[in-house]
Amino acid sequence: MSDSETAQTTTEAVAPRQTMLGQPEGNADHAAASPAETGQPQAPAETASPGDDAVTPAAESYADFALPTGIEIDPQSLTEAKQLFAADGLSQERAQSYVDLYASRLKEAVEAPYKLWAETQHDWQQAVKTDREIGGARLAGNLAIAAKAVDRFGGDALRQALNVSGAGNHPDVIRAFIRIGKAISEDALVLGRGVAQDIRSRADRLYPNDPLKPRE
């Protein structure tokens, strides 16, 4: 599958879930109906002319099969399939129906991981938004706190890893970075208050009540 075709297939599989608009289940079913699934393509026997054969004769050689956009079958597999079709005496049309069925299943298999990934991301985001501790009205402020923790301990490289892996949407990951962000904010607040500096000498600190110490 070429890069452009792969991108198209991936976009078709993921885009409905990325909108987070609650697409109905079943809309992502991209399987193409094949002639074998919709019934026999031949006319009923009683309407055929007397000179017509009831069964289309087998093809001596097969032309290129039609494939859905974004799906390719490697040439070696097609060669082996054509040999099986010829051995079973299949016509071009009948062989195409088998190719259609295989292509639809292949497309489903290619798209399935992307669909699952998008659904998982959507579920994680919804869990974060409705979480009693970090979600609801607190969400925007908590995400800002978490962003500070990401900036301090990982920066752009960590942010990219969270985005590519999808972990940046996981409720427990977000919760952890919120807690880290709050912890470093509290540390900064304590340090910012300052402590009065003790300017006494070491001897004065060790023996503050020494009677032999000269008085000022």
**Quick check: is 213 in a domain?**
no
Number of structural domains in the chain: 2
Instruction: Using pLDDT thresholds of 50, 70 and 90, give the confidence band for residue 41.
Output: very low
133-183 tens-digit pLDDT? 999 999 999 999 999 999 999 999 999 999 999 999 999 999 999 999 999
The whole domain housing 175 covers: 131-193
CB 128 within 8 A of CB 20: no
Residue closest to 167 by CA, chosen among 150, 179, 192: 150
State whether 103 and 13 are in the same domain.
Answer: yes
Residue appearing with tokens 């920066």: 155
Q: Is 74 among the domain residues?
A: yes
Q: pLDDT tens for residues 178-216?
A: 999 999 987 665 555 555 555 666 666 666 666 665 555
Distances (CA, A) of 10 to 47, 115, 125, 213: 45, 9, 21, 84
* pLDDT tier at 96, thresholds 50, 70, 90: very high
Same domain membership, residue 95 and residue 21: yes
pTM over 0.75: no
Q: What is the dihedral of CA 173, 179, 185, 187, to 10 degrees?
A: -120
User: What pLDDT score was predicted for residue 64?
Assistant: 92
Q: Is residue 122 part of a domain?
A: no
Within this chain, do residues 81 and 40 fall inside the same structural domain, yes or no?
yes
Cβ atoms of 39 and 116 closer than 8 Å: no
What does the chain come to in residues? 216
Tokens of 41: 């393509």
How much is the pLDDT for 213? 59
Tell me 164's DSSP state: H
- What are 8's two structure tokens? 């198209």
Evaluate if residue 38 carries a pLDDT over 70: no
